[in-house]
């Protein structure tokens, strides 16, 4: 048993899409989440910039005594997983891409046309394609970057025509031109527009890595005998620039929890520590 929290991080609020699945599958686990809202989006930045931001956040999570780090960001998983594992060998570090790639490889065959959507960095890295192919090399895989999705989602522009038009702008030719039947949401922000995508392309099967990573978290904690039991720890959600959308989303995730939802928010500057808003 290990009642220390699990550390999650993302460039912003996208990684929060993993949290409801974690709470459902592993209700005894507690978490520390860091969203780098002051520096989002990561997905169009240089790999060296993403590496230095990710090292700072992972350092902070390790100092906060988390028992595991989940990189709830495809962009960071594509660029920094090995780097972070080498830097912190004492702690299990999970990326979000591999469990989803394995699942896609198992559930699809050569009759399927699989599309991956993600940030520029994730798509240019080819990580999804190479991991899926390493599990099953007979699949038809197509990829495209959708760089405007993350800024719109961070702004809360979701349930409206602007988002629908942006989805069509990036995806119409991609979906119809490649006769896609399956799409992988290769960015943790995208589950927040899953309903829009389902409405616009009702025949697509959607693979959501934010839900799939939770089975991997369970497996690793079980193998190491690190599952929590009756932890008293309060979940903490840090943002480097606490936005209304970030707070609203956490409120929404915990709305059905008991009054002592055991959640704290903090506005946090990695260099100077806690800041008041
Ligand atoms: N949620 C991040 C991902 O999964 C978004 C990246 C970004 O900030 O552009 O890639």
Per-residue pLDDT reduced to its tens digit, 167-200: 999 999 999 999 999 999 999 999 999 999 999 9
> What is the overall mean pLDDT for the chain?
92
Q: Provide the pLDDT confidence category of residue 260 given band limits of 50, 70 and 90.
A: very low
Q: What's the 186 CA to ligand 1 centre distance in angstroms? A: 9
Ligand 1 pocket list (CB less than 6 A): 10-12, 14, 40-43, 73-75, 119, 122, 150, 187-189
Ligand 1: residue of 18, 19, 40, 128 to mutate (most ligand atoms within 8 A of CB) is: 40
What is the per-residue DSSP string for 10-31? ESSSGGGGGHHHHHHH-TT--E
Average pLDDT of the segment spanning 78-100: 97
Average pLDDT of the segment spanning 79-84: 97
Average pLDDT of the segment spanning 62-80: 97
Helices (H) and strands (E) in the chain, counts: 11, 11
Angle in degrees, CA 41, 198, 37, rounded to 5: 15
Average pLDDT of the segment spanning 263-277: 69
Q: What's the 175 CA to ligand 1 centre distance in angstroms? A: 21
pLDDT score, position 252: 80
The string of pLDDT tens digits covering residues 34-45 is 999 999 999 999
Using CA atoms, how far apart are residues 52 and 176, in angstroms rounded to an integer?
Answer: 38
102: its two tokens: 């394995």
Using CA atoms, how far apart are residues 145 and 78, in angstroms rounded to an integer?
Answer: 14
Q: Is the pLDDT of residue 261 over 60?
A: no
Rounded to two decimals, the pTM is: 0.94
Using CA atoms, how far apart are residues 149 and 102, in angstroms rounded to an integer?
Answer: 25
Using CA atoms, how far apart are residues 115 and 5, in angstroms rounded to an integer?
Answer: 34
């Amino acid at each position: 048993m290990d009642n220390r929290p699990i550390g999650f991080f993302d460039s912003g609020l996208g990684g929060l899409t993993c949290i409801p699945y974690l709470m459902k599958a592993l209700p005894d686990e507690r978490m520390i989440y860091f969203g780098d809202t002051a520096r989002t989006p990561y997905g169009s930045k240089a790999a060296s910039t993403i590496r230095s931001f990710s090292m700072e956040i992972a350092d902070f999570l390790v100092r906060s005594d988390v028992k595991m780090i989940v990189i709830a960001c495809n962009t960071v998983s594509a660029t920094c997983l090995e780097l972070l594992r080498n830097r912190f060998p004492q702690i299990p570090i999970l990326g979000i891409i591999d469990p989803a790639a394995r699942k896609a490889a198992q559930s699809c065959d050569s009759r399927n046309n699989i599309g991956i959507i993600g940030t520029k960095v994730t798509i240019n890295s080819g990580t999804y394609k190479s991991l899926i192919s390493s599990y099953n090399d007979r699949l038809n895989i197509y990829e495209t970057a959708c760089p405007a999705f993350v800024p719109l989602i961070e702004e809360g522009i979701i349930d409206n025509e602007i988002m629908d038009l942006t989805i069509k702008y990036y995806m119409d030719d991609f979906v119809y031109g490649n006769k896609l039947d399956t799409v992988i949401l290769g960015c943790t922000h995208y589950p927040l527009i899953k309903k829009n995508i389902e409405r616009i392309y009702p025949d697509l099967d959607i693979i959501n890595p934010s839900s799939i990573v939770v089975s991997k978290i369970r497996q690793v904690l079980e193998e190491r005998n690190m599952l929590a039991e009756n932890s008293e720890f309060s979940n903490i959600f840090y943002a480097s620039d606490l936005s209304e959308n970030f707070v609203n989303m956490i409120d929404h995730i915990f709305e059905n929890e008991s009054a002592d939802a055991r959640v704290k928010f903090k506005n946090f500057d990695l260099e100077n520590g806690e800041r008041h808003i």
